[in-house]
Structure 1
Amino acid sequence: MTDRPYTDDDLRAEAARQHRALTRTADLVVVGDQMDQETVLSTEERDEPRTWAELLDCEGDITPAYEDAQEKVHHLITRAADVSEWAVNLGAAGLTATTSMGWYVSSTNGWDIAVQFAHRPQIRPGIRDEIESAVRLAVERVLREHGLTPRGLDTSS
């Protein structure tokens, strides 16, 4: 029993609610401001990494290409799957999300099934890799048993 009139679960529920609300109400202008000087991931492997502003030629003035990218990022943020509760609980437990796996089964619009892992930093990489491999094989086995052909396996860390 604590002297607080609320529980840790109440705090996590409120954090998850606000996380979701902040994501769903992301301001388009703020999204653009946050993109402006960030390096575009795909350009980091090139000789000259470039920011969104540099890549889309909008230093000082917003171009249609930049505005289009900004709107697409905003759409991805506001339409993202609600994993707020899961994310808050992972943080509260001291876990880090590290690996995502997705399978195409019948859809042409992206993954039909996805699994994401989270672990404590102290988990040895070999153990983590073994667990992830077992889950990957189990999901594929179940899909095949139901006459579905997993394809487009996408794994990223």
Structure 2
Amino acid sequence: MNQPTYTNDDLVAEAAKQHHGLTEDPGYMGVAEAMEDSPIASSPDGTTWGALIDKDSEDSDEYDEARDTIHDLMTDAADTSYWAITLGQDRLVPSEQTITLGPSGDPRVRVHLAFAEDYSEADQADLIAQLHEFIATSLT
């Protein structure tokens, strides 16, 4: 079999570039279509974003404001494509828990964690607690 003219790193770099391209410029209509039937996360009764649209008038300020903010959050998001691709390659699952350093409202450093699928929640919590303790007592 012939040696390919590319490396695994080339594959990862191209995948990260394409992943980023998919998130780079979401159109308003695409954002609106994706969110309309999606439940609002904090809604106890499953209210969807689309329920914010006033069907009886053209005034849907609350929905429009939410759509615009979601669009801005997406376009301002950090490019974590390389990280996402390599996590998948290593079969690691990102944790929603983070460790943030800096004063409240002014984070200076944020550590995101990812774990193997078989790493238990208890072990994850224990490791995160140890990291917090280490940071609090050993770093200045």
TM-score (norm 2): 0.85
Matches within 5 A, 1:116-127: 116-127=112-123
Distance 1:117 1:9, change over 3 A: same
- AA in 2 matched with 1:32: A
- The equivalent residue for 2:65 is 68
For 2:55 and 2:124, locate their aligned partners in 1 and report how far apart those are by CA, in whole Å.
44
Q: Quick check: 1:141 aligned with 2:137?
A: yes
Instruction: Kindly tell me the number of residue pairs found equivalent between the two proteins.
Output: 139
Across the aligned residues of Structure 1 and Structure 2, the Cα RMSD in angstroms comes to: 2.3
Question: Which amino acid is 1:91 matched to?
Answer: G
Give 2:90's aligned residue: 93
Task: Name structure 2 gaps, 5 residues minimum.
Answer: none
- Deviation of 1:137 after TM superposition, in Å, equals 1.8
CA deviation vs aligned residue, 1:110-139 (integer Å, no higher than 9, x gap): 533211111111123332222111112222
Matches for 1:17-96 after TM superposition, within 5 Å: 17-43=17-43, 46=44, 48-54=45-51, 56-59=52-55, 63-96=60-93
Q: Residues of 1 paired with 2:73 and 2:23: CA distance?
A: 10
SS at structure 2 position matched to 1:41:
coil
Q: Which runs of 4+ in 1 moved over 4 A?
A: 59-62
> Within 1, Cα distance between the matches of 2:107 and 2:9?
32
Q: What's the CA shift string for 1:77-100, capped at 9, x where partnerless?
A: 111111111111000111100133
Contact residue 101 and residue 110 of structure 2 kept, 8 A: no
Match of 1:10 in 2: 10
Structure 1 alignment gaps of length 5 or more: 146-157
